[in-house]
Structure 1
Protein backbone atom coordinates (compact mmCIF):
# COMPACT_ATOMS: atom_id res chain seq x y z
CA UNK A 1 0.00 0.00 0.00
CA UNK A 2 1.28 3.46 -0.91
CA UNK A 3 2.29 5.65 2.00
CA UNK A 4 1.29 9.27 2.25
CA UNK A 5 4.09 11.81 2.26
CA UNK A 6 2.53 13.18 5.44
CA UNK A 7 3.26 9.92 7.29
CA UNK A 8 6.98 10.51 6.96
CA UNK A 9 6.97 14.14 8.15
CA UNK A 10 7.96 15.48 11.53
CA UNK A 11 6.14 18.73 12.23
CA UNK A 12 6.93 21.10 15.10
CA UNK A 13 3.86 23.04 16.27
CA UNK A 14 4.59 26.14 18.35
CA UNK A 15 1.81 28.08 20.06
CA UNK A 16 1.38 29.48 23.56
CA UNK A 17 -2.28 28.42 23.59
CA UNK A 18 -2.73 24.79 24.55
CA UNK A 19 -6.04 24.84 22.66
CA UNK A 20 -4.36 25.92 19.40
CA UNK A 21 -1.58 23.36 19.86
CA UNK A 22 -4.20 20.65 20.30
CA UNK A 23 -6.28 21.90 17.37
CA UNK A 24 -3.35 22.08 14.95
CA UNK A 25 -2.03 18.76 16.21
CA UNK A 26 -5.39 17.09 15.66
CA UNK A 27 -5.70 18.58 12.17
CA UNK A 28 -2.23 17.27 11.33
CA UNK A 29 -3.18 13.82 12.61
CA UNK A 30 -6.30 13.80 10.41
CA UNK A 31 -4.16 14.78 7.40
CA UNK A 32 -1.89 11.84 8.18
CA UNK A 33 1.09 13.36 9.99
CA UNK A 34 2.36 10.83 12.51
CA UNK A 35 5.26 12.68 14.11
CA UNK A 36 4.15 15.89 15.82
CA UNK A 37 6.25 17.84 18.29
CA UNK A 38 4.60 20.47 20.49
CA UNK A 39 6.13 23.58 22.05
CA UNK A 40 4.53 26.34 24.12
CA UNK A 41 6.91 29.13 23.06
CA UNK A 42 9.89 29.93 20.90
CA UNK A 43 12.47 28.92 23.50
CA UNK A 44 11.00 25.43 23.91
CA UNK A 45 10.62 25.19 20.12
CA UNK A 46 14.27 26.15 19.58
CA UNK A 47 15.41 23.36 21.88
CA UNK A 48 13.10 20.79 20.24
CA UNK A 49 14.11 21.96 16.78
CA UNK A 50 17.81 21.42 17.45
CA UNK A 51 17.16 18.02 19.04
CA UNK A 52 14.63 16.55 16.59
CA UNK A 53 15.29 18.50 13.35
CA UNK A 54 11.67 18.58 12.12
CA UNK A 55 10.72 18.81 8.45
CA UNK A 56 8.26 21.70 8.91
CA UNK A 57 7.68 24.31 11.62
CA UNK A 58 4.22 25.76 12.23
CA UNK A 59 4.53 28.68 14.63
CA UNK A 60 2.27 31.29 16.14
CA UNK A 61 3.46 34.85 15.69
CA UNK A 62 2.71 36.33 19.14
CA UNK A 63 4.11 34.41 22.11
CA UNK A 64 6.22 35.17 25.17
CA UNK A 65 9.07 35.04 26.03
CA UNK A 66 10.19 34.26 22.45
CA UNK A 67 7.68 34.90 19.68
CA UNK A 68 7.43 33.34 16.23
CA UNK A 69 9.28 36.23 14.60
CA UNK A 70 12.35 35.79 16.81
CA UNK A 71 12.17 32.01 16.35
CA UNK A 72 12.05 32.46 12.58
CA UNK A 73 15.07 34.76 12.69
CA UNK A 74 17.03 32.23 14.77
CA UNK A 75 16.12 29.41 12.38
CA UNK A 76 17.05 31.41 9.28
CA UNK A 77 20.43 32.43 10.74
CA UNK A 78 21.56 28.89 11.51
CA UNK A 79 24.91 27.98 9.97
CA UNK A 80 23.69 24.57 8.78
CA UNK A 81 22.04 25.12 5.40
CA UNK A 82 19.76 22.08 5.67
CA UNK A 83 18.36 23.19 9.02
CA UNK A 84 17.93 26.85 8.12
CA UNK A 85 15.99 25.81 4.98
CA UNK A 86 13.15 24.18 6.92
CA UNK A 87 9.76 25.47 5.74
CA UNK A 88 8.12 27.76 8.31
CA UNK A 89 4.37 28.37 8.28
CA UNK A 90 3.44 31.26 10.53
CA UNK A 91 -0.05 31.32 12.04
CA UNK A 92 -1.49 34.53 13.42
CA UNK A 93 -4.72 36.29 14.26
CA UNK A 94 -2.94 39.50 13.28
CA UNK A 95 -3.30 39.60 9.52
CA UNK A 96 -2.37 43.23 8.98
CA UNK A 97 -0.08 43.84 6.04
CA UNK A 98 2.70 44.94 8.42
CA UNK A 99 2.66 41.54 10.20
CA UNK A 100 2.68 39.61 6.92
CA UNK A 101 5.51 41.77 5.55
CA UNK A 102 7.54 41.34 8.73
CA UNK A 103 7.09 37.56 8.55
CA UNK A 104 8.06 37.57 4.88
CA UNK A 105 11.12 39.72 5.49
CA UNK A 106 12.33 37.40 8.25
CA UNK A 107 12.07 34.37 5.98
CA UNK A 108 8.69 32.77 6.73
CA UNK A 109 7.74 30.39 3.92
CA UNK A 110 3.98 30.85 4.20
CA UNK A 111 1.46 32.68 6.37
CA UNK A 112 -1.88 31.39 7.65
CA UNK A 113 -4.47 33.57 9.37
CA UNK A 114 -6.51 32.39 12.32
CA UNK A 115 -9.05 30.90 12.52
CA UNK A 116 -7.45 27.94 10.79
CA UNK A 117 -9.47 25.76 8.48
CA UNK A 118 -8.44 22.15 7.80
CA UNK A 119 -8.44 22.83 4.06
CA UNK A 120 -6.11 25.85 4.29
CA UNK A 121 -3.69 24.00 6.56
CA UNK A 122 -3.67 21.07 4.13
CA UNK A 123 -3.08 23.41 1.17
CA UNK A 124 -0.23 25.23 2.94
CA UNK A 125 1.44 21.93 3.80
CA UNK A 126 1.12 20.71 0.21
CA UNK A 127 2.46 24.03 -1.00
CA UNK A 128 5.64 23.93 1.05
CA UNK A 129 6.18 20.27 0.14
CA UNK A 130 5.37 20.41 -3.58
CA UNK A 131 6.89 23.82 -4.30
CA UNK A 132 10.04 24.05 -2.21
CA UNK A 133 11.69 27.44 -2.49
CA UNK A 134 15.39 27.99 -2.88
CA UNK A 135 17.04 29.90 -0.08
CA UNK A 136 18.41 33.27 -1.01
CA UNK A 137 21.34 34.44 1.08
CA UNK A 138 21.14 37.85 2.71
CA UNK A 139 23.94 39.50 4.68
CA UNK A 140 22.58 38.26 8.03
CA UNK A 141 20.20 35.37 7.21
CA UNK A 142 18.71 33.16 4.50
CA UNK A 143 15.21 33.64 3.11
CA UNK A 144 13.04 31.54 0.79
CA UNK A 145 12.64 32.78 -2.76
CA UNK A 146 9.48 34.90 -2.81
CA UNK A 147 8.45 34.12 -6.36
CA UNK A 148 6.23 31.06 -6.78
CA UNK A 149 6.98 30.60 -10.48
CA UNK A 150 10.18 30.46 -12.49
CA UNK A 151 9.08 32.63 -15.40
CA UNK A 152 9.33 36.42 -15.07
CA UNK A 153 6.05 38.29 -15.31
CA UNK A 154 5.77 41.52 -17.22
CA UNK A 155 2.69 43.55 -17.90
CA UNK A 156 0.26 46.02 -16.36
CA UNK A 157 -0.71 43.71 -13.49
CA UNK A 158 2.87 43.08 -12.36
CA UNK A 159 3.17 43.83 -8.66
CA UNK A 160 5.72 46.35 -7.58
CA UNK A 161 6.77 47.68 -4.22
CA UNK A 162 5.12 45.01 -2.08
CA UNK A 163 5.66 41.27 -2.54
CA UNK A 164 3.18 38.98 -0.85
CA UNK A 165 3.83 35.52 0.50
Structure 2
Protein backbone atom coordinates (compact mmCIF):
# COMPACT_ATOMS: atom_id res chain seq x y z
CA UNK A 1 0.00 0.00 0.00
CA UNK A 2 1.34 3.48 -0.82
CA UNK A 3 0.64 6.87 0.64
CA UNK A 4 -0.17 9.87 -1.55
CA UNK A 5 3.50 10.93 -1.41
CA UNK A 6 4.49 7.60 -2.96
CA UNK A 7 6.18 6.22 0.16
CA UNK A 8 4.94 2.68 0.92
CA UNK A 9 3.13 1.98 4.18
CA UNK A 10 2.55 -1.23 6.06
CA UNK A 11 -0.87 -0.61 7.56
CA UNK A 12 -3.35 -3.51 7.13
CA UNK A 13 -6.43 -2.52 5.16
CA UNK A 14 -8.71 -4.20 7.71
CA UNK A 15 -7.35 -2.36 10.76
CA UNK A 16 -10.20 -0.92 12.87
CA UNK A 17 -9.79 2.55 14.39
CA UNK A 18 -11.88 4.69 16.74
CA UNK A 19 -11.20 8.44 16.73
CA UNK A 20 -12.21 10.48 19.81
CA UNK A 21 -11.98 14.20 19.05
CA UNK A 22 -14.35 17.00 20.06
CA UNK A 23 -13.15 19.43 17.36
CA UNK A 24 -15.04 18.82 14.11
CA UNK A 25 -12.27 20.33 11.96
CA UNK A 26 -9.66 17.98 13.40
CA UNK A 27 -12.00 15.02 12.87
CA UNK A 28 -12.33 15.98 9.19
CA UNK A 29 -8.55 16.17 8.85
CA UNK A 30 -8.09 12.77 10.50
CA UNK A 31 -10.81 11.28 8.32
CA UNK A 32 -8.99 12.39 5.16
CA UNK A 33 -5.59 11.23 6.44
CA UNK A 34 -6.87 7.80 7.47
CA UNK A 35 -8.52 7.29 4.10
CA UNK A 36 -5.34 8.35 2.31
CA UNK A 37 -3.48 5.70 4.30
CA UNK A 38 -5.93 3.00 3.26
CA UNK A 39 -7.84 2.78 6.55
CA UNK A 40 -11.50 2.22 5.74
CA UNK A 41 -12.95 0.93 9.01
CA UNK A 42 -12.99 3.84 11.45
CA UNK A 43 -15.56 5.45 13.73
CA UNK A 44 -15.60 9.11 14.82
CA UNK A 45 -16.73 10.19 18.30
CA UNK A 46 -17.13 13.71 19.67
CA UNK A 47 -16.04 12.94 23.26
CA UNK A 48 -14.53 10.27 25.48
CA UNK A 49 -17.83 8.98 26.85
CA UNK A 50 -19.20 8.38 23.35
CA UNK A 51 -15.90 6.79 22.36
CA UNK A 52 -15.96 4.25 25.21
CA UNK A 53 -19.49 3.22 24.25
CA UNK A 54 -18.27 2.73 20.67
CA UNK A 55 -15.22 0.79 21.88
CA UNK A 56 -17.44 -1.59 23.86
CA UNK A 57 -19.69 -2.00 20.84
CA UNK A 58 -17.12 -2.53 18.07
CA UNK A 59 -13.89 -3.66 19.83
CA UNK A 60 -11.53 -1.67 17.56
CA UNK A 61 -7.83 -2.37 17.10
CA UNK A 62 -6.52 1.16 17.78
CA UNK A 63 -7.79 4.26 19.60
CA UNK A 64 -6.77 7.75 18.48
CA UNK A 65 -7.89 10.20 21.16
CA UNK A 66 -7.62 13.91 21.76
CA UNK A 67 -6.30 14.89 25.18
CA UNK A 68 -8.82 17.57 26.17
CA UNK A 69 -12.48 16.66 25.64
CA UNK A 70 -15.72 17.36 27.52
CA UNK A 71 -17.26 14.74 29.83
CA UNK A 72 -14.44 12.19 29.58
CA UNK A 73 -10.92 13.39 28.73
CA UNK A 74 -8.39 11.45 26.69
CA UNK A 75 -6.55 10.40 29.85
CA UNK A 76 -9.76 9.23 31.53
CA UNK A 77 -10.71 7.35 28.36
CA UNK A 78 -7.32 5.64 28.33
CA UNK A 79 -7.80 4.54 31.94
CA UNK A 80 -11.19 3.09 31.02
CA UNK A 81 -9.68 1.17 28.09
CA UNK A 82 -6.92 -0.22 30.30
CA UNK A 83 -8.83 -0.97 33.48
CA UNK A 84 -12.61 -1.08 33.13
CA UNK A 85 -14.05 -4.62 33.29
CA UNK A 86 -16.25 -3.87 30.27
CA UNK A 87 -13.29 -2.85 28.10
CA UNK A 88 -13.10 -5.43 25.29
CA UNK A 89 -9.35 -5.03 24.80
CA UNK A 90 -7.13 -3.58 27.58
CA UNK A 91 -4.10 -4.16 25.30
CA UNK A 92 -5.37 -1.79 22.61
CA UNK A 93 -2.78 0.76 21.39
CA UNK A 94 -3.82 4.29 22.37
CA UNK A 95 -2.42 7.20 20.34
CA UNK A 96 -2.89 10.53 22.15
CA UNK A 97 -3.38 13.74 20.14
CA UNK A 98 -1.88 16.67 22.01
CA UNK A 99 -0.58 20.18 21.78
CA UNK A 100 1.15 19.76 25.15
CA UNK A 101 4.92 19.66 25.45
CA UNK A 102 4.99 19.98 29.24
CA UNK A 103 6.97 17.02 30.58
CA UNK A 104 4.75 16.56 33.64
CA UNK A 105 1.59 16.42 31.52
CA UNK A 106 3.17 13.89 29.17
CA UNK A 107 4.12 11.77 32.19
CA UNK A 108 0.51 11.90 33.38
CA UNK A 109 -0.69 10.49 30.08
CA UNK A 110 2.06 7.88 30.03
CA UNK A 111 1.12 6.81 33.56
CA UNK A 112 -2.49 6.41 32.44
CA UNK A 113 -1.38 3.84 29.83
CA UNK A 114 -1.01 5.89 26.64
CA UNK A 115 1.00 4.05 23.97
CA UNK A 116 2.21 6.95 21.82
CA UNK A 117 1.75 10.69 21.27
CA UNK A 118 0.85 12.53 18.07
CA UNK A 119 1.42 16.29 17.97
CA UNK A 120 -1.11 18.71 16.50
CA UNK A 121 -1.44 19.77 13.75
CA UNK A 122 -1.37 16.18 12.54
CA UNK A 123 0.70 15.36 9.47
CA UNK A 124 0.23 12.36 7.19
CA UNK A 125 3.80 11.22 7.78
CA UNK A 126 3.51 11.32 11.57
CA UNK A 127 0.13 9.58 11.62
CA UNK A 128 1.41 6.82 9.33
CA UNK A 129 4.46 6.32 11.56
CA UNK A 130 2.35 6.00 14.72
CA UNK A 131 -0.09 3.58 13.11
CA UNK A 132 2.69 1.40 11.70
CA UNK A 133 4.42 1.30 15.07
CA UNK A 134 1.17 0.40 16.83
CA UNK A 135 0.51 -2.43 14.38
CA UNK A 136 3.95 -3.96 14.03
CA UNK A 137 6.05 -3.00 17.06
CA UNK A 138 4.29 -4.27 20.14
CA UNK A 139 5.43 -3.37 23.64
CA UNK A 140 5.08 -5.60 26.66
CA UNK A 141 2.42 -4.51 29.14
CA UNK A 142 3.22 -4.05 32.81
CA UNK A 143 0.81 -5.10 35.55
CA UNK A 144 1.30 -3.68 39.06
CA UNK A 145 -0.91 -2.61 41.96
CA UNK A 146 -1.42 0.89 40.55
CA UNK A 147 -0.60 0.60 36.85
CA UNK A 148 -1.58 -1.44 33.83
CA UNK A 149 -0.33 -0.34 30.44
CA UNK A 150 2.58 -0.42 27.98
CA UNK A 151 6.04 -0.71 29.49
CA UNK A 152 7.05 2.89 30.14
CA UNK A 153 10.73 2.17 29.62
CA UNK A 154 11.77 3.09 26.09
CA UNK A 155 14.50 0.49 25.66
CA UNK A 156 13.29 -3.08 25.93
CA UNK A 157 16.49 -5.05 25.45
CA UNK A 158 14.69 -7.99 26.90
CA UNK A 159 11.09 -9.08 26.98
CA UNK A 160 9.93 -11.71 29.39
CA UNK A 161 7.28 -14.17 28.39
CA UNK A 162 3.81 -13.01 29.31
CA UNK A 163 2.80 -13.00 32.97
CA UNK A 164 6.30 -13.51 34.38
CA UNK A 165 7.51 -11.58 37.45
CA UNK A 166 9.99 -8.80 36.73
CA UNK A 167 13.45 -9.34 38.13
CA UNK A 168 16.55 -7.18 38.17
CA UNK A 169 19.09 -8.34 35.62
CA UNK A 170 16.68 -10.72 33.95
CA UNK A 171 18.26 -12.06 30.73
CA UNK A 172 16.71 -11.60 27.30
CA UNK A 173 14.11 -14.11 26.22
CA UNK A 174 12.27 -14.79 23.01
CA UNK A 175 8.73 -13.58 22.52
CA UNK A 176 7.46 -16.47 20.43
CA UNK A 177 6.05 -18.58 23.24
CA UNK A 178 2.37 -18.25 24.12
CA UNK A 179 1.67 -16.46 27.39
CA UNK A 180 1.39 -18.45 30.58
CA UNK A 181 -2.12 -17.89 31.99
CA UNK A 182 -0.90 -18.61 35.52
CA UNK A 183 -0.31 -15.24 37.19
CA UNK A 184 -0.14 -16.70 40.68
CA UNK A 185 3.64 -16.54 41.01
CA UNK A 186 5.04 -14.53 43.88
CA UNK A 187 5.76 -10.94 42.92
CA UNK A 188 4.13 -7.55 42.57
CA UNK A 189 4.94 -6.72 38.94
CA UNK A 190 4.32 -8.78 35.82
CA UNK A 191 4.86 -8.48 32.07
CA UNK A 192 2.18 -9.47 29.57
CA UNK A 193 3.40 -9.81 25.99
CA UNK A 194 0.67 -9.04 23.40
CA UNK A 195 2.57 -10.59 20.47
CA UNK A 196 1.56 -14.24 21.11
CA UNK A 197 -2.02 -13.14 21.79
CA UNK A 198 -2.06 -11.28 18.46
CA UNK A 199 -0.59 -14.30 16.68
CA UNK A 200 -3.31 -16.53 18.17
CA UNK A 201 -5.88 -14.34 16.38
CA UNK A 202 -3.81 -14.23 13.15
CA UNK A 203 -2.90 -10.54 13.61
CA UNK A 204 0.35 -8.51 13.50
CA UNK A 205 2.23 -8.25 16.83
CA UNK A 206 0.53 -5.09 18.09
CA UNK A 207 -3.10 -5.95 17.38
CA UNK A 208 -4.82 -8.22 19.88
CA UNK A 209 -8.27 -9.40 18.85
CA UNK A 210 -10.52 -11.64 20.95
CA UNK A 211 -9.50 -15.29 21.03
CA UNK A 212 -9.78 -18.04 23.67
CA UNK A 213 -6.18 -17.36 24.67
CA UNK A 214 -6.60 -13.58 25.00
CA UNK A 215 -9.84 -13.98 26.96
CA UNK A 216 -8.13 -16.36 29.39
CA UNK A 217 -5.15 -14.06 29.92
CA UNK A 218 -7.21 -10.89 30.35
CA UNK A 219 -9.53 -12.58 32.85
CA UNK A 220 -6.50 -13.58 34.89
CA UNK A 221 -5.03 -10.07 34.60
CA UNK A 222 -8.17 -8.53 36.09
CA UNK A 223 -8.21 -11.06 38.92
CA UNK A 224 -4.51 -10.46 39.60
CA UNK A 225 -5.11 -6.71 39.90
CA UNK A 226 -7.41 -7.50 42.82
CA UNK A 227 -4.92 -9.93 44.36
CA UNK A 228 -2.19 -7.28 44.36
CA UNK A 229 -4.05 -5.17 46.93
CA UNK A 230 -3.67 -7.89 49.56
CA UNK A 231 -1.37 -5.66 51.62
CA UNK A 232 -3.96 -2.87 51.67
CA UNK A 233 -6.62 -5.37 52.63
CA UNK A 234 -4.53 -6.68 55.53
CA UNK A 235 -4.09 -3.11 56.75
CA UNK A 236 -7.82 -2.55 56.45
CA UNK A 237 -8.51 -5.56 58.67
CA UNK A 238 -5.99 -4.32 61.26
CA UNK A 239 -7.58 -0.87 61.28
CA UNK A 240 -11.05 -2.35 61.69
CA UNK A 241 -9.94 -4.50 64.61
CA UNK A 242 -8.28 -1.49 66.25
CA UNK A 243 -11.37 0.62 65.74
CA UNK A 244 -13.37 -1.87 67.80
CA UNK A 245 -10.97 -1.68 70.77
CA UNK A 246 -9.40 1.76 70.63
CA UNK A 247 -10.12 4.64 72.93
CA UNK A 248 -9.28 7.02 70.07
CA UNK A 249 -11.86 6.12 67.41
CA UNK A 250 -11.43 9.45 65.59
CA UNK A 251 -7.83 8.71 64.62
CA UNK A 252 -8.61 5.17 63.51
CA UNK A 253 -11.69 6.31 61.62
CA UNK A 254 -9.41 8.59 59.59
CA UNK A 255 -6.99 5.67 59.04
CA UNK A 256 -9.85 3.48 57.81
CA UNK A 257 -10.99 6.12 55.34
CA UNK A 258 -7.39 6.55 54.12
CA UNK A 259 -6.99 2.79 53.64
CA UNK A 260 -10.21 2.49 51.66
CA UNK A 261 -8.96 5.36 49.49
CA UNK A 262 -5.72 3.46 48.79
CA UNK A 263 -7.70 0.42 47.69
CA UNK A 264 -9.84 2.66 45.49
CA UNK A 265 -6.74 4.02 43.79
CA UNK A 266 -5.44 0.50 43.21
CA UNK A 267 -8.53 -1.19 41.80
CA UNK A 268 -11.23 1.47 41.53
CA UNK A 269 -11.28 1.59 37.72
CA UNK A 270 -10.97 -2.16 37.26
CA UNK A 271 -13.69 -2.65 39.88
CA UNK A 272 -16.29 0.14 39.55
CA UNK A 273 -18.23 -1.10 42.60
CA UNK A 274 -15.21 -0.25 44.76
CA UNK A 275 -15.50 3.25 43.35
CA UNK A 276 -19.14 3.37 44.43
CA UNK A 277 -18.22 2.37 47.97
CA UNK A 278 -15.61 5.12 48.08
CA UNK A 279 -18.12 7.65 46.74
CA UNK A 280 -20.52 6.66 49.53
CA UNK A 281 -17.80 6.95 52.17
CA UNK A 282 -16.47 10.29 50.91
CA UNK A 283 -20.02 11.71 50.85
CA UNK A 284 -20.46 11.13 54.60
CA UNK A 285 -16.88 11.46 55.89
CA UNK A 286 -17.46 14.98 57.23
CA UNK A 287 -20.73 13.94 58.88
CA UNK A 288 -19.36 10.91 60.77
CA UNK A 289 -19.24 11.33 64.56
CA UNK A 290 -16.60 8.96 66.01
CA UNK A 291 -18.39 9.17 69.37
CA UNK A 292 -21.60 7.81 67.84
CA UNK A 293 -21.65 4.01 67.68
CA UNK A 294 -23.97 4.14 64.67
CA UNK A 295 -21.41 6.18 62.74
CA UNK A 296 -18.71 3.66 63.58
CA UNK A 297 -21.00 0.85 62.43
CA UNK A 298 -21.40 2.59 59.08
CA UNK A 299 -17.61 2.90 58.75
CA UNK A 300 -17.26 -0.81 59.50
CA UNK A 301 -19.95 -1.57 56.95
CA UNK A 302 -18.01 0.27 54.24
CA UNK A 303 -14.84 -1.63 55.11
CA UNK A 304 -16.67 -4.95 55.22
CA UNK A 305 -18.26 -4.20 51.83
CA UNK A 306 -14.83 -3.54 50.31
CA UNK A 307 -13.56 -6.87 51.67
CA UNK A 308 -16.63 -8.63 50.29
CA UNK A 309 -16.11 -7.07 46.86
CA UNK A 310 -12.52 -8.27 46.78
CA UNK A 311 -13.73 -11.77 47.67
CA UNK A 312 -16.24 -11.67 44.81
CA UNK A 313 -13.85 -10.15 42.26
CA UNK A 314 -13.17 -13.43 40.48
CA UNK A 315 -16.84 -14.31 40.07
CA UNK A 316 -18.26 -13.90 36.55
CA UNK A 317 -21.72 -13.01 37.89
CA UNK A 318 -21.59 -9.51 39.40
CA UNK A 319 -25.15 -9.47 40.71
CA UNK A 320 -24.17 -10.53 44.24
CA UNK A 321 -21.52 -7.80 44.40
CA UNK A 322 -23.99 -5.21 43.12
CA UNK A 323 -26.54 -6.32 45.72
CA UNK A 324 -23.91 -5.96 48.45
CA UNK A 325 -23.17 -2.36 47.43
CA UNK A 326 -26.87 -1.52 47.07
CA UNK A 327 -27.48 -2.72 50.65
CA UNK A 328 -24.65 -0.51 51.89
CA UNK A 329 -26.08 2.54 50.09
CA UNK A 330 -29.52 1.85 51.60
CA UNK A 331 -28.07 1.68 55.12
CA UNK A 332 -26.12 4.91 54.60
CA UNK A 333 -29.21 6.72 53.30
CA UNK A 334 -31.14 5.76 56.45
CA UNK A 335 -28.52 7.13 58.85
CA UNK A 336 -27.30 10.00 56.67
CA UNK A 337 -30.19 11.26 54.54
CA UNK A 338 -29.12 13.44 51.61
CA UNK A 339 -28.45 17.03 52.58
CA UNK A 340 -30.94 19.55 51.17
CA UNK A 341 -29.41 22.27 49.07
Q: Same fold (TM over 0.5)?
A: yes
Q: Which runs of 4+ in 1 moved over 6 A?
A: none
Q: Report the equivalent of 1:57.
A: 63
1:46 aligned to which of 37, 52, 66: 52
Q: Which moved more, 1:5-14 or 1:76-85?
A: 76-85
Report if the CA contact (8 A) 2:140-2:151 is conserved.
yes
Report if the CA contact (8 A) 1:73-1:141 is conserved.
no
**1:113 Cα offset (Å):** 1.2
Q: Mark the structure with the bigger radius of gyration.
A: 2
Report if the CA contact (8 A) 2:79-2:113 is conserved.
yes
Q: Check if 1:95 corresponds to 2:106.
A: no
Structure 1, unpaired ranges of 5+ = 153-165
Q: Give 1:11-160 correspondences, 5 Å limit.
A: 11-79=17-85, 83-151=89-157
Residues 92-122 of structure 1: per-residue CA shift (max 9 Å, x gap): 1122112211110100000111111110010
Residues 120-144 of structure 1: per-residue CA shift (max 9 Å, x gap): 0100111111111121112244110
Aligned length in residues? 150
Residues 12-67 of structure 1: per-residue CA shift (max 9 Å, x gap): 00100011111112101100101010000000001000000000000000010111
- Please state whether the residue corresponding to 2:106 is helix, strand or coil: helix
- Please state whether the residue corresponding to 1:62 is helix, strand or coil: coil
> Cα 1:48–1:71, aligned 2, differ >3 Å: closer, same or farther?
same
User: When you count strand as a share of all residues, which structure comes out higher?
Assistant: 1
Q: Which moved more, 1:111-120 or 1:48-57?
A: 111-120
Q: Report the equivalent of 2:222.
A: none
- Please state whether the residue corresponding to 1:121 is helix, strand or coil: helix
Query: CA-atom RMSD, angstroms?
Result: 1.9
- Please state whether the residue corresponding to 1:136 is helix, strand or coil: strand
Please report the TM-score for the alignment, with normalisation by the length of structure 2: 0.42
Q: Name the CA distance, whole Å, in 1 between partners of 2:119 and 2:128.
A: 14
